[in-house]
Structure formats: structure tokens, C-alpha cells
Structure 1
Amino acid sequence: MPRSEARVSTDRPHRYAKQLAAHFGRKIESSWDEETGLGSLAFSMGTATLTAEPGALLLAVEGEAGNLENLESVVGRHLVRFGTKDELVAEWHRDSGEAGSVQRNEEDAPAHAPGGAA
């Protein structure tokens, strides 16, 4: 199954992983283990794993090729929103070698070119 990963630099990887698992746990099956620093999210379109490492939160999503970008977006947008003060950026890299999506605070995003579609 296609896979994509994002390594998000942060001094608080456990905090953000726990927050993601708790937030999504209201609607889907999720888990977070503070001792191991591992968690998971089970979406209908695929899964996500959360791994807290020193200085980073490793996000990995797996799903059918047509769902991979949506999984990246859902997990990445929520993380970036939770970490607005820390200016978190989720830049995804797919195992196919394709570039994945990037989520960042809207205020940090590059402006659209004049006359271009927003």
C-alpha cells in the first residue's frame, strides 16, 4: 500500500502526538502510548502512525494511491493548526519518489501570484 512520511521538527513531539490522537479519537479509532511514544489513527481511507522522537514527530500515512494526498492533508493540517505558535511544517515524502503535500501555517505560506487561481 502506498506510504508517505513527514518528519516535523518540534521540541514537543509527545504533546502534539497525544493531541492528534485525542482529537481524532472523538470520531475514529486512535491510540497513543506515552511510554513508547507511539500512536495510530485508523481512518476509513487509510491509517496514520505517530512516532515521537527526540526533536521531531514522525508522521506516516498509508492508504490507496488516490487517498494518500487526503491523508497527508488531514493529519498535517491538524498538526499545523495545533502547533501554530511553534510554526510547525509538515512536508510529506512518498515512498514512490513523488513529492508529497506540504502543510504550514497559512500566514507563513507563500502568496499566490497576482491574477493566479487561489
Structure 2
Amino acid sequence: MDDALITVTGTMRTDRPERFAKQLLSHWSHRGEVLEEDGALVQRWETGQVISLRATEDALEVEVSVVEGDDSARFAQVVKEHLERFGQRDELDLVWHV
């Protein structure tokens, strides 16, 4: 794809980052194939959005990208809402880096 991407990154503290990464990508499995790239799970949607999830010892590092001209804040909010809903019992909070 030749279009420039706008990327937003964030961190969600959790002791089960792999679980939430797999749950989110499984939920959206119909959107695009999931590949492992450089230690992260990456899903490229047919509509141009990209989600990259990297599990660390105590957090899930989240990176979402949209094609320039799309609403990156809106897509980031959708990802945040889904992850926090999946981790509701753990009171998870995805914090976007500014």
C-alpha cells in the first residue's frame, strides 16, 4: 500500500497480555489475517487499518494505524473499548501515548 499511515501507540498494564491480544484479534478474525512480525501479532484489515500487539512481562503494547485521511482517534477508541471490555474484570485501562 502506498498510502501514508497515521499511527497511535499505547500501553495496557496486565499480567495476561497474550490472552487479551489473542482475544481481540480472534474477535476481529474476519477483518484480516494475523501474522507474527518481529515478536508482535499484527493484523492488517482489508480496509487499511493495522493493529499490532506486543506482549511484554507486565503489559500489552498496542499500536494502531490508519490510512492518512481516516480518523485515527476513532479507530484507537474502538480498539481501546474492546480491550477494556475484554479485561473488565481486571479493570484494565489502555493509555494512549501522546
Query: What is the TM-score when the length of structure 2 is the normalising length?
Result: 0.81
Gaps of 5+ in 2: none
> Structure 1 residue 3: deviation in Å?
1.2
Aligned to 1:107: none
C-alpha separation between the residues in 1 aligned to 2:91 and 2:12? 10
Identity of aligned residues (%): 32
C-alpha separation between the residues in 2 aligned to 1:67 and 1:45? 12
Within 5 Å, give how 1:88-107 maps onto structure 2.
88-93=92-97, 99=98
- Among 5, 12, 24, the alignment partner of 1:20 is 24
Query: Residue deviations 1:43-81, cap 9 Å, x none?
Result: 314211010111000000111254211220121111000
Aligned to 1:56: 59
Structure number with greater CO (CA < 8 Å, separation at least 6) is: 2
> Structure 1 residue 82: deviation in Å?
0.2
Paired AA for residue 51 in structure 2: A
Aligned residues: 91
Q: Does 1:2 align with 2:6?
A: yes
Greater radius of gyration (CA): 1
- The alignment yields a C-alpha RMSD, in angstroms, of 1.9
Gaps of 5+ in 1: 94-98, 100-118
Query: What is the TM-score when the length of structure 1 is the normalising length?
Result: 0.68
The answer as to whether partners of 1:51 and 1:59 remain within 8 angstroms in 2 is: yes
